[in-house]
Chain A
Amino acid sequence: MEVGRSIGNNCMATITKEDILKISRMSHIKIHDDEIESLIDRLGEVLNYAARVQEIAVDVVLSPSKNINVLRDDVAIKFDAQLIVACAPESEEHYFVVPAILESNK
Chain B
Amino acid sequence: MNNLAFATIKELRTKLVNKEISAQELAAFFTKRFEQHDTKIQSALEVFGADSVLASSEQQGVLQGIPGLIKDNISQKGRALTCSSNILKGFKATYDATAIVRLKQEGALLLGRANMDEFAMGSSGETSAYQTSKNPWDVTRVPGGSSSGSAAAVAAGLVPWALGTDTGGSVRQPAAFCNLVGSKPTYGLVSRYGIVAYGSSLDQIGVMTRTVYDNALVLSVIAGHDPRDSSSLAVQKKDYTQSLDGTIPAGLRIGVVDNALYADGMDPEVVSAIEQAIKVLEQLGATIKRIKLPALDYSAATYFIISRAEAASNLARFDGVRYGMRDKKSSSLSDMYFNTRHDGFGTEVKSRILIGNYVLSAGYADAYYENAKKVRHMMTKNFLDMYKDVDLLVMPTAPCAAFKFGAFAQHKLQMDLQDYFTCAANLTGMPAVAVPCGMTSTQLPVGFQLYGPHLSEELIFKVAHAYEQKTAWHTMHANV
Q: Is the CB of A43 within 8 A of B358?
A: yes
Question: In the complex, what residues of A have CB within 8 A of residue B358's CB?
Answer: 19, 23, 43, 47
Q: Is the CB of B375 within 8 A of A60?
A: yes
Interface of A is mostly: loop
Question: In the complex, what residues of B have CB within 8 A of residue A87's CB?
Answer: 91-92, 94, 322-324
Question: In the complex, what residues of B have CB within 8 A of residue A70's CB?
Answer: 230
Measured CB to CB, the closest approach of chain B to A46, in angstroms, equals 6
Interface of B is mostly: helix
Measured CB to CB, the closest approach of chain B to A77, in angstroms, equals 12
Query: Contacting B267 at CB < 8 Å: which of A1, A24, A46, A100?
Result: A1
B359: interface (CB < 8 Å): yes
Question: In the complex, what residues of A have CB within 8 A of residue B297's CB?
Answer: 4, 6-7, 52
In the complex, which of the residues A5, A31, A42 has the most CB atoms of chain B within 10 Å of its own CB atom?
A42
Measured CB to CB, the closest approach of chain A to B96, in angstroms, equals 13
Measured CB to CB, the closest approach of chain B to A50, in angstroms, equals 5
Cα distance A27–B319 in the bound complex, in angstroms: 11
Beta-carbon contacts of A26-43 to B below 8 Å, as 1s and 0s? 111111100000110011
The A-B contact count (CB < 8 A) is: 180
Beta-carbon contacts of B165-181 to A below 8 Å, as 1s and 0s? 00000000000000000
Measured CB to CB, the closest approach of chain B to A47, in angstroms, equals 7
B373: interface (CB < 8 Å): yes
Cα distance A99–B400 in the bound complex, in angstroms: 49
Cα distance A102–B397 in the bound complex, in angstroms: 51
Q: Is the CB of B351 within 8 A of A62?
A: no
B290: interface (CB < 8 Å): no
* Closest residue of A by beta carbon distance from B300: A4
Cα distance A20–B320 in the bound complex, in angstroms: 22
Measured CB to CB, the closest approach of chain A to B34, in angstroms, equals 27
Query: Contacting B331 at CB < 8 Å: which of A2, A54, A103?
Result: A103
- B residues contacting the other copy or chain, number (CB 8 A): 72
B46: interface (CB < 8 Å): no
> Within A56-106, which residues are at the interface with B (CB < 8 Å)?
56-57, 60-63, 69-70, 72, 83-84, 87-90, 96, 98-104
Chain B contacts to A: CB under 8 angstroms? 91-92, 94, 227, 230, 263-267, 295, 297-298, 300-302, 304-305, 308, 312, 316, 319-326, 328, 330-339, 341-342, 345, 347, 350-351, 353-355, 357-359, 361, 364, 367-368, 370-375, 377-378, 399-400, 412-414, 416-417, 420
Additional A-B contact list (13), CB under 8 Å, known A19-B358, A60-B377, A99-B331: A1-B414, A12-B367, A23-B361, A24-B354, A27-B341, A39-B350, A39-B351, A43-B351, A53-B298, A53-B374, A60-B375, A62-B377, A102-B332
List 23 A-B residue pairs with CB atoms under 8 Å apart, sorted by A's residue number.
Answer: A1-B400, A2-B264, A3-B414, A4-B264, A12-B364, A23-B358, A26-B361, A27-B312, A28-B338, A29-B341, A29-B350, A46-B355, A47-B358, A47-B368, A49-B300, A52-B297, A52-B298, A53-B374, A57-B374, A60-B378, A87-B324, A88-B323, A99-B335
Chain A contacts to B: CB under 8 angstroms? 1-7, 12, 19-20, 23-24, 26-32, 38-39, 42-43, 45-47, 49-57, 60-63, 69-70, 72, 83-84, 87-90, 96, 98-104
